[in-house]
């Protein structure tokens, strides 16, 4: 069993930055690929970024490429999402997820464990 707890969300003005953290329990964290997804009101949950056990990353929408960076610290059982140049359209609940494979995936159905989410609100 893996438990994920996100933190770091909040209210920020457009152009600002936030760093989300996701702390994982369990001794096998380093074997799991990790992902970040987000869900805006009335929309489907969408893939944002993912990272393999070794640190290879992949990103979702073109709108986040170059602005968001995913990273992980296996010694701390933590994955991060650094978000810069935030836009109002980035407003959503952001979820951390763990996949019981070493390679990342863009599909939410392939992630077994999920956090409860952290709200990110970007004001214009």
pLDDT at residue 1 in the model = 82
Please tell me the predicted confidence (pLDDT) of residue 22: 97
Per-residue pLDDT at 29 exceeds 90:
no
Supply the pLDDT for residue 26.
76
| Contact between residue 83 and residue 18 where contact means Cβ atoms under 8 Å apart | yes
Q: Quick one: average pLDDT of 24-51?
A: 92
Q: What is the mean pLDDT of the chain?
A: 95
pLDDT in tens, 63-106: 899 999 999 999 999 999 999 999 999 999 999 999 999 999 99
């Amino acid at each position: 069993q893996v438990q994920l707890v996100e933190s770091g969300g909040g209210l920020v003005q457009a152009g600002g930055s936030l760093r989300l953290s996701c702390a994982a329990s369990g001794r096998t964290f380093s074997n799991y690929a990790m992902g970040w997804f987000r869900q805006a009101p009335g929309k489907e949950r969408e893939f944002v970024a993912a990272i393999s056990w070794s640190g290879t990353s992949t990103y979702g929408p073109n709108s986040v490429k170059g602005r968001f960076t995913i990273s992980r610290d296996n010694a701390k059982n933590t994955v991060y999402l650094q978000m810069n140049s935030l836009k109002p359209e980035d407003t959503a609940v952001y979820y951390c997820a763990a996949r019981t494979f070493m390679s990342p995936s863009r599909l939410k159905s392939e992630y077994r464990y999920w956090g409860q989410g952290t709200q990110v609100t970007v004001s214009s």
